[in-house]
Structures are given as structure tokens and as C-alpha cells.
Amino acid sequence: MRHVVTPEEAGSRADRLLAHLASAPRSLVAQAFKDGLVTKSGDAIKASFTLESGDEIEFSIPQRPSLEVRPEEIDVPILYEDDELLVVDKPAGMTTHPAHGATSGTLVNALLAHTGGLPGEPLRPGLVHRLDRDTSGLLVVAKTPGALSALGKAIAKRNVRREYLGLVKGRPQHGSGTIDGPIGRDPHNRLKYAIVAGGKPSVTHYTVREPLRNDAEVLFTLETGRTHQIRVHMSALGHPLINDPLYGRSDSRFALPGQALHAWRLSFKHPVTREPMSFEVAPPPEYELAKQLLQ
């Protein structure tokens, strides 16, 4: 591809302009520079090169290889299963679905081996909601297209109740409250999310379940389900989750793989029978040990 730098683009870093022009992830843009695939007047330039008006650049951005999801025999606790759905207790440290950098060992790999096949997107079959890699607990998975559609609509209409338990740094000033803050990409760190103007509406209700010595165990109820929602909201409140390496800090005292957060309760209506269904699963031993250390 060829592009002539406009006066408005003058002064831009080459990598930032190419990421915009190609609508490509920065990792692929960085690789293109390393491979010498970005040139000006025939000479390779660096990612940090400052462009001037009239510069003619040529570039080629490599495509990511397509991902293939393979069934893998991985033991995952199944709390309930029928012809339409199943409810699992995802272990902390397990990624929910494959992505670049985590193509195996995920919950989806395990579910495909168990069921033989699931409806929906190739990389996220059966999923109507997700949990962060280091968050443990309850997930409902659809086994049929009808169940996937019905559960997806229930999530969108906020008819699925999701309650979490978490250990937070310090004690919130109020025993209960609501955090209403739109969430989007952190403009300063693409690995993080933040409360930002123009973000997606995000609402978290919280109640202090048990005061600890200097910290607290908190019950969270979600109205929305944004990526990292509880972690972002509690960090903004000044009480990040214990052992959260991204929004707080890691603590070597704990055996947890990451943040002390557990999807504790899950309630919804069965997509076919319409019968109310409710599930509860205790936090894993690592969470309970962390709580004991904070008492």
C-alpha cells in the first residue's frame, strides 16, 4: 500500500499513522517495521520515524494466522447439564476462549471435547458471557442455537443475575453503593480499561459482605457485563481487588494467579422450559486462604 502524508498528518510517528491507516493491531504494525516492510523513498524506516507532509511511504502489514479451535480433554467442573445448556465452574487461571497468544487450554477447548460441538462464533462457541482468565466461578454455556439466542437476549435485557465475591484493598467508606461509570479502553494503556467519556454504560452494585482487618470482602451484582468491569470500577473507587496485577498490585503472600474475584451466584430462566434456575459455587481454596490471611 502507498500513502502520501497530508499536512494534517505531518509530525505523526510512522507506527501510529500506519496503525490508523491499516486499522491493524499495534503488534502487527510493529512486526512490519521489524521486518523492513515500511519504507520511504525505498528505504526502510523505524517505527518512531517522524513523518513530514508530502512523504510517500509504502507498507505491507502481515495478516494474523487464522485460529483453529481444537477439542482438548481438560477436566472442568460441570454443575448442571441438559440438552440445551450446561453450567460450569471455571477455574481461576483458565482463559475462557482462544485468542492470539492463548490458543489452547481454554474453557472452550474443554467444552468442545465434552460436547462434540457448540453453536455460535467459531472462537466463542456456546458463550453468552465470559470471565477474565484469573476470575473463577460460574458460567452458563448454550448447547443449541435456540438456547444461545435466548440466553443472549436475557443477558442483554439484564434478566440474568450475576453475583461475585471479591477481596478489596481497604474498606469502602459506605457499606453499599452503586458505581455508574462508562467503560472504554484506557487511552494511556491499551491493555487496560478505564472510566472514560464515551465509554459503554457500566453499572456495578456493591455491598460490604465482611469487614476484614484492614480490607474487606465485597459482594458485587452486575447490571452490565463489560470487560474488567468490577476491576475497573473498584480501582476507580480507590479499593482495587487484592492481588490484581493490572489495576492494583500483585502480592506474593497469596497463591491466587491474579485478582481475588469469584463468580459466586448465577440465576436465569431456562431458555426452553422458562423455569427459574439458580446456582451457587463456593470460592476456590486459594481465595479462602487469601481471605484468612487478611483477617
141: helix, strand or coil: strand
Cell (9 digits) for 234:
473498584
Check 132, 134, 215, 244 and give the catalytic one.
132
Rounded (10°) CA dihedral 113, 118, 124, 130: -90
164 - beta bridge partners?
Answer: 220, 263
The number of beta carbons lying within 10 Å of the beta carbon of residue 34 is 12
Instruction: Please name the residues in contact with 265: beta carbons below 8 A apart, sequence gap of 6 or more.
Output: 138, 161, 162, 163, 278, 279, 280
Q: What is the edge-to-edge ordering of all strands in the sheet holding 38-40?
A: 2-4, 56-59, 38-40, 43-44
d(CA 157, CA 289): 36
Active site residue 132: yes
- Of 134, 131, 75, the closest CA to residue 255 belongs to 134
User: Phi and psi dihedrals of 282, rounded to 5?
Assistant: -70, 150
d(CA 228, CA 131): 9
Rg of the chain over CA atoms, in angstroms?
Answer: 22
3-state secondary structure 61-114: CCCCCCCCCCCCCCCCCEEEECCCEEEEEECCCCCCCCECCECCCCHHHHHHHH
219 - beta bridge partners?
Answer: 165, 207
Active site residues: 132
